[in-house]
Amino acid sequence: MRAVCENWLSRIWYGMSAAYIPLLPFSWLFKYAAGARRFLYKKKLLKAYKVGVPVIIVGNISVGGTGKTPAAVWLAEQLKYSGKIPGIISRGYPGHVGKLPVVVRPDSDPEIVGDEAILMATRTGCKVVVHPNRVAAARKVVELGANIIISDDGLQHYGLARDFEIVVMDTSRGFGNGKLLPAGPLREPVSRLHSVDMVLVNCENSKPEASQFENSSTWTFQLAAKSVHRVDESETREIQYFSGKRVHAVAGIGNPERFFRMLQGLGIDAVPHPLSDHADIGVSDITFADDLDVLMTEKDAVKCRQFNTDKCWYVAADLHIKDSGPMQPIDLILSKISPRKATI
pLDDT digits (tens, 9 = 90+) for 132-179: 999 999 999 999 999 999 999 999 999 999 999 999 999 888 899 999
Lowest mean pLDDT among 4-13, 145-154, 180-189, 263-272: 4-13
Give the chain's mean pLDDT.
91
Tell me: do 229 and 167 sit in the same domain: no
Burial class, 189, CB count within 10 angstroms (exposed 0-12 / middle 13-18 / buried 19+)? middle
- Bridge partners, 319 (sequence order): 223
At 100 the pLDDT is 94
Per-residue pLDDT for 41 more than 80? yes
Per-residue pLDDT for 80 more than 90? yes
Per-residue pLDDT for 340 more than 80? no
Per-residue pLDDT for 243 more than 70? yes
295 Cβ partners below 8 Å, 6+ apart? 228, 242, 247, 248, 249, 250, 263, 268, 270, 313, 314, 315
At 18 the pLDDT is 87
The stretch 285-302 carries a mean pLDDT of 95
d(CA 315, CA 250): 11
Q: Residues 30, 193: contact at Cβ < 8 Å? A: no
d(CA 104, CA 92): 9
Per-residue pLDDT for 207 more than 90? no
Tell me, yes or no, whether 13 lies in a domain: no
Confidence band (pLDDT; 50, 70, 90) for 324? low
The residue that leads in pLDDT, 339 or 8, is: 8
DSSP code of 122?
A: H
Tell me, yes or no, whether 16 lies in a domain: no
At 7 the pLDDT is 73
d(CA 89, CA 102): 10
Tell me: do 207 and 233 sit in the same domain: no
Tell me, yes or no, whether 51 lies in a domain: yes
Per-residue pLDDT for 266 more than 60? yes
**CATH label of the domain that carries residue 108:** 3.40.50
The residue among 198, 193, 247 whose CA lies nearest residue 225 is 247
The stretch 20-25 carries a mean pLDDT of 94
The residue among 174, 199, 202 whose CA lies nearest residue 261 is 202
Per-residue pLDDT for 85 more than 70? yes
Per-residue pLDDT for 339 more than 60? no
Tell me: do 111 and 201 sit in the same domain: yes
At 322 the pLDDT is 85
Tell me: do 79 and 112 sit in the same domain: yes
The stretch 83-102 carries a mean pLDDT of 93
Per-residue pLDDT for 204 more than 90? no
Which tens digits make up the pLDDT trace of 55-75? 999 999 998 778 899 999 999
d(CA 81, CA 163): 20
Q: Residues 315, 297: contact at Cβ < 8 Å? A: yes
The residue among 339, 344, 338 whose CA lies nearest residue 148 is 338
d(CA 72, CA 151): 8
Tell me, yes or no, whether 5 lies in a domain: no
Tell me: do 173 and 227 sit in the same domain: no
Report CA Rg, the chain: 20
E-only strand ranges, 93-244: 102-104, 127-130, 148-152, 164-170, 198-202, 218-230, 236-238
At 307 the pLDDT is 86
d(CA 121, CA 266): 28
- The domain containing residue 288 runs over which residues? 223-318
Tell me: do 196 and 256 sit in the same domain: no
Confidence band (pLDDT; 50, 70, 90) for 306? confident
Confidence band (pLDDT; 50, 70, 90) for 187? very high
At 213 the pLDDT is 58
The residue that leads in pLDDT, 309 or 305, is: 305
Tell me: do 210 and 79 sit in the same domain: yes
Confidence band (pLDDT; 50, 70, 90) for 271? very high
Per-residue pLDDT for 211 more than 60? no
Tell me, yes or no, whether 3 lies in a domain: no
Tell me: do 153 and 212 sit in the same domain: yes
Tell me: do 204 and 248 sit in the same domain: no
Tell me: do 164 and 243 sit in the same domain: no
The stretch 81-103 carries a mean pLDDT of 93
Cα distances from 118 to residues 29, 50, 132, 155, in angstroms, run 35, 26, 16, 21
Tell me, yes or no, whether 342 lies in a domain: no
Tell me, yes or no, whether 1 lies in a domain: no
Q: What percent of the chain has pLDDT over 90?
A: 76
Per-residue pLDDT for 226 more than 90? no
Tell me: do 123 and 263 sit in the same domain: no
Q: How many domains does the chain have?
A: 2
Tell me, yes or no, whether 344 lies in a domain: no
Tell me: do 310 and 227 sit in the same domain: yes
